[in-house]
């Protein structure tokens, strides 16, 4: 049995793309495919993609003997190693890449490229827009019964196995939103469904959730500017969230801090 793991691509890359492989508002699928196939400089995805989440998930999957990695790319389609691709810039944002309904038409194709045995499974913990692309693939029903996805996924309604995600998983795992899918993947491949049952048990033991006050980005930046005497990022986050009871993610606080320091 093979576990086919589908992870998201990375925006950051080791090689800058040529202008012709940067998706613009004038780009359509046919012109993109032509320019894509005209490229002579090709790179292994594991070298080209340099994003932290991608690198961590790549390491997790390659450490599992019966796992096979595939990459959901907004520029390529479905990449299965050891395929090589050109450097590019494309996302699922409007005018910056294809619509999720067009994903399967990209140069590398979509779900139809997967070759599965009946006992294989297809596991994916990826951002919602990537799962929406899979959901819109006309071949998705052919693998639906073998899909394993979290309950928060757009694919949950059609998947054969749905993993229930506790709403306070981030607190249990002590991780930020950007690292949550990586942690879920690690737990599933190392502990299976028992790992998520453990998270649920630990989540139920947490004290009642503290009600925090929402804050705009501008007000957060101003507040962070007034707290520059707090030198460590950890100390700043704890002060804002635990003492001032401000509702702001670690990512937003970090962005506000960088903005203040760049003034």
Parent domain of 227: 213-261
Q: Is residue 206 part of a domain?
A: no
Alpha carbon 145 to chain centroid, angstroms: 22
Residues 14 and 135 both lie in one domain: yes
DSSP 13: B
Residues 91 and 154 both lie in one domain: yes
Q: Report the distance separating Cα 230 and Cα 250, nearest Å.
A: 15
Residues 40 and 144 both lie in one domain: yes
CA angle 114, 45, 85 (to 5 degrees): 80
Q: Which residues pair with 67 in a beta bridge?
A: 3
Question: Of 97, 88, 112, nearest to 38 (Cα)?
Answer: 88
Q: What is the pLDDT of residue 235?
A: 92
Q: Is residue 225 part of a domain?
A: yes
Q: 127, 143, 163 — which closes off a domain?
A: 163
Q: What is the full per-residue pLDDT of the chain (263 aa) written as tens digits?
A: 999 999 999 999 999 999 999 999 999 999 999 999 999 999 999 999 999 999 999 999 999 999 999 999 999 999 998 899 999 999 999 999 999 999 999 999 999 999 999 999 999 999 999 999 999 999 999 999 999 999 999 999 999 999 999 999 999 999 989 999 999 999 999 999 999 999 999 999 999 888 899 999 999 999 999 998 998 999 999 999 989 999 999 999 999 999 998 87
Judging by beta carbons within 10 Å of its beta carbon (0-12, 13-18, 19+), is residue 132 exposed, middle or buried? Answer: middle
Residues 44 and 127 both lie in one domain: yes
Q: Is residue 203 part of a domain?
A: no
Q: Is residue 204 part of a domain?
A: no
Buried b (16+ CB within 10 A) or exposed e, 189-214: beeeeebbeebbeebeeeeeeeeeee
Q: What is the pLDDT of residue 263?
A: 72
Beta-carbon contacts of 80 under 8 Å, excluding residues fewer than 6 positions away, are 68, 69, 70, 71, 113, 114
Beta-carbon contacts of 65 under 8 Å, excluding residues fewer than 6 positions away, are none
Q: Report the distance separating Cα 94 and Cα 57, nearest Å.
A: 27
Residues 235 and 127 both lie in one domain: no
Total Cβ atoms within 10 A of residue 3: 18
CA angle 166, 195, 2 (to 5 degrees): 115
Residues 157 and 219 both lie in one domain: no
Q: How many domains does the chain have?
A: 2
Residues 39 and 145 both lie in one domain: yes
Q: Report the distance separating Cα 72 and Cα 133, nearest Å.
A: 9
Q: Report the distance separating Cα 231 and Cα 60, nearest Å.
A: 33
Q: 163, 182, 205 — which closes off a domain?
A: 163
Residues 155 and 219 both lie in one domain: no
Residues 143 and 22 both lie in one domain: yes
Residues 142 and 224 both lie in one domain: no
Residue 143 contacts residue 116 (beta carbons within 8 Å) = yes
Q: What is the pLDDT of residue 210?
A: 81
Residues 122 and 240 both lie in one domain: no
Q: What is the pLDDT of residue 183?
A: 98
Q: Is residue 195 part of a domain?
A: no
Residues 137 and 252 both lie in one domain: no
DSSP 162: E
Q: What is the pLDDT of residue 223?
A: 95
Residue 33 contacts residue 106 (beta carbons within 8 Å) = yes
Q: Is residue 177 part of a domain?
A: no
Q: Is residue 256 part of a domain?
A: yes
Q: Is residue 193 part of a domain?
A: no
Residue 5 contacts residue 70 (beta carbons within 8 Å) = yes
Q: What is the pTM of this model?
A: 0.81
Residue 105 contacts residue 139 (beta carbons within 8 Å) = no
Q: 143, 163, 183 — which closes off a domain?
A: 163
Q: What is the pLDDT of residue 262?
A: 86
């Amino acid at each position: 049995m093979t576990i086919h793991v589908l992870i998201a691509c990375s925006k950051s890359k080791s090689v800058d793309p040529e202008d012709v492989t940067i998706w613009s508002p004038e780009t359509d699928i046919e012109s993109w495919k032509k320019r894509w196939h005209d490229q002579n400089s090709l790179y292994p995805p594991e070298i080209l993609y340099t994003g932290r989440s991608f690198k961590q998930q790549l390491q997790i999957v390659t450490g599992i003997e019966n796992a096979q990695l595939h990459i959901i790319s907004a520029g390529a389609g479905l990449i299965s190693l050891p395929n090589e691709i050109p450097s590019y810039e494309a996302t699922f944002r409007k005018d910056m890449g294809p619509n999720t309904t067009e994903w399967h038409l990209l140069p590398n194709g979509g779900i139809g490229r997967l070759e599965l045995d009946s006992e294989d499974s297809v596991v994916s913990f990826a951002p919602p827009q990537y799962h929406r692309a899979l959901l819109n693939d006309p071949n998705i029903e052919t693998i639906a019964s073998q899909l394993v996805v979290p309950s928060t996924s757009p694919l949950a309604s059609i998947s054969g196995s749905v993993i229930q995600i506790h709403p306070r998983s981030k607190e249990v795992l002590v991780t930020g939103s950007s690292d949550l899918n990586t942690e879920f993947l690690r737990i599933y491949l190392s502990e299976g469904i028992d790992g998520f049952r453990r998270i649920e048990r630990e989540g139920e033991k947490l004290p009642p959730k503290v009600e925090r006050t929402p804050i705009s980005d501008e007000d957060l930046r101003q507040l962070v500017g007034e707290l520059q005497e707090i030198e460590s990022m950890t100390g700043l986050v704890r002060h804002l969230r635990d003492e001032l009871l401000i509702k702001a993610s670690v990512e937003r606080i970090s962005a506000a801090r960088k903005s203040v320091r760049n003034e």
